[in-house]
Structure 1
Amino acid sequence: MKKYLIAGLLVWLPLAITLWVLLWLYGAMDGMFLWLLSGLQKAVPAGVVSDGLESLRGIPFLGVFVMVALLLGTGVFATNMFGQWWLRQGDRLLGRIPIVKSIYSSVKQVSDTLFSSDGNAFREAVLVQYPHQGSWTIAFVTGRPSGEVAAHLAGDHVSLYVPTTPNPTSGFFLIMPRSAVRPLHMSVDEALKYIISMGVVAPPPPAPPAVRLGEADPNRMG
């Protein structure tokens, strides 16, 4: 009985978690769409337009399609010169509001660093000794120390994020010498799977280097 229960659990658990994540995403996007719809209804006078907006609430999956289209449209707008100019003006405007500027500038700086295509944050998985010598864990390189912190450090150092398991959204921030960090061949996605599974789902070992024509294979005897 126990064997069959565990086998059934292994079949349904991944499906249940996948469904839960998809439903959470759907609820978040649909909730944002309804919030925008409520704002539009308050902005337009009562009448045919308002009644038409109210009828949109009953259309299934409309919120997901609208939010995806909105994100794509925003991305197209933000990647051309005209859109970038308007975004700079908006940043300057928000940067002049006393309380908003501290929150907006901090969040924007972090998001630009994490999601920028030319940034180095979370692009490399490494192996470090933590929390003590002889105990190893996987960390992600988030950059290099700068400012006053870098002035107090001698030599080459890196900034690291050590996630916890099975919830990688919480963790620890470390600054360690580059010499104490061992780079890994695994990708960031493979490292996250390894951490979330608590070491159960191990990534495949790196493939051996290809042998060029005319060169001897070092792994071949004789």
Structure 2
Amino acid sequence: MNDKTPAGRPVKLRSPFIQRLRTYFFTGIIVVAPVAITIYLTWSFVEWVDQVVIPLIPIEYRPEAFLPFTVPGLGVILALVGLTLVGALTANLLGRTVVRLGEQIVDRMPVVRGIYNVFKQIFETLLKDTSDAFQYAALVEYPRRGLYTIGFVAGTTRGEVVRRVDKDLVSVYVPTTPNPSSGFILFIPREDVRILDMTVEQAMKYVVSVGVVVPPDPSAPTLPGFETAPGTETPERKSA
């Protein structure tokens, strides 16, 4: 066994026990970190909503006036109920009239108008059903020919853009990694958009994980020179 490098320097060999501890340590991080971060962010959000909503409730009607302890998450419950009631009220004719009147007032305010319209469009897009917001996950060449990235097909491009270019274009949203809320909207010829078999949710996880969480592709052939991972052999390979 050669314990020296080509330059003649001795190699520091790691003991199997140290390697096993290192593997256990990183495995523990992979298991615990997502759970801990999820709990922390969820609890932080609940506390933030409670701090905003609960002060609006008169002191004599708060749970601590009747109980010897506070009720965490009460603000979230009240916020959900309140938002649902607002949505129900604005769904009828009177509610829509009030909202329309409010938007007309906002449209007369130069700075506020721009901020309101931007956030309104963002929330209308994000809160749509996924099938409506993004139809497919696709592979597009970006930022130049020969380089590929994942994009999300929003639909067929319409309006002045198509009239100016006079081509059959598709609107594709290309998110940035690991924050998919920012990105670019590209208008790409339909023949240059390659629709992927993975779902929009799988593609979004692929982007957010910086390419670590790869969606399964059972129909993909095994590349020459690469071994199939244990437990993922195809029926043909198993029978051989």
Give the alignment's TM-score, normalised by structure 2.
0.68
What displacement does 1:206 show?
7.8
Give the stretch that moved more between structures: 156-165 or 105-114.
105-114
Could you tell me which of 67, 77, 85 is aligned with 2:89? Answer: 77
Provide the residue aligned with 2:6 in structure 1: none
Partner Cα distance (1:79, 1:206) in 2: 45
Provide the residue aligned with 2:197 in structure 1: 185
**Could you tell me which amino acid in structure 1 is paired with residue 199 of structure 2?**
S
Partner Cα distance (2:64, 2:109) in 1: 35
Partner Cα distance (1:85, 1:174) in 2: 36
Provide the residue aligned with 1:130 in structure 2: 142
Provide the residue aligned with 1:154 in structure 2: 166
Aligned CA distance change for structure 1 residues 201 and 175 (closer, same or farther; 3 Å): same
What displacement does 1:118 show?
10
What displacement does 1:146 show?
4.7
Provide the residue aligned with 1:52 in structure 2: 60
Partner Cα distance (1:31, 1:129) in 2: 47
Give the stretch that moved more between structures: 3-12 or 105-114.
105-114
Which of these two proteins has the greater Rg computed from alpha carbons? 2
Could you tell me which of 45, 54, 67 is aligned with 2:79? Answer: 67
1:15 paired with 2:35, answer: yes
Aligned CA distance change for structure 1 residues 119 and 204 (closer, same or farther; 3 Å): closer
Provide the residue aligned with 1:211 in structure 2: none
What displacement does 1:70 show?
1.2
How big is each residue's C-alpha offset from its partner over 1:176-211, in whole Å with a ceiling of 9 and x where there is no partner? 11211112232221111111223332333489xxxx
Partner Cα distance (1:140, 1:175) in 2: 12
**Could you tell me which amino acid in structure 2 is paired with residue 122 of structure 1?**
F
**Could you tell me which amino acid in structure 2 is paired with residue 24 of structure 1?**
S
Partner Cα distance (1:87, 1:119) in 2: 27
Partner Cα distance (1:163, 1:145) in 2: 18
- Tell me the secondary structure at the aligned position of residue 33 of structure 1: helix
What displacement does 1:99 show?
2.7
- Sequence identity of aligned pairs in percent? 39
Give the stretch that moved more between structures: 82-91 or 174-183.
82-91
What displacement does 1:145 show?
4.2
- Tell me the secondary structure at the aligned position of residue 26 of structure 1: helix
Partner Cα distance (2:166, 2:115) in 1: 32
Provide the residue aligned with 1:212 in structure 2: none
Give the alignment's TM-score, normalised by structure 1.
0.73
Contact 1:128 1:137 in 2 (8 A): yes
Provide the residue aligned with 1:47 in structure 2: none
Partner Cα distance (1:65, 1:11) in 2: 30
**Could you tell me which amino acid in structure 1 is paired with residue 163 of structure 2?**
A
Aligned CA distance change for structure 1 residues 109 and 61 (closer, same or farther; 3 Å): closer
Partner Cα distance (1:202, 1:86) in 2: 48
Partner Cα distance (1:152, 1:133) in 2: 23
Provide the residue aligned with 1:24 in structure 2: 44
What displacement does 1:51 show?
4.3
Aligned CA distance change for structure 1 residues 183 and 78 (closer, same or farther; 3 Å): farther
Contact 2:90 2:99 in 1 (8 A): yes
What displacement does 1:120 show?
4.0
Show structure 1 runs of 5+ residues with no match.
Answer: 41-49, 208-222
- Give the superposed CA RMSD: 2.9
Partner Cα distance (2:191, 2:114) in 1: 36
1:96 paired with 2:146, answer: no
Count of aligned positions: 195
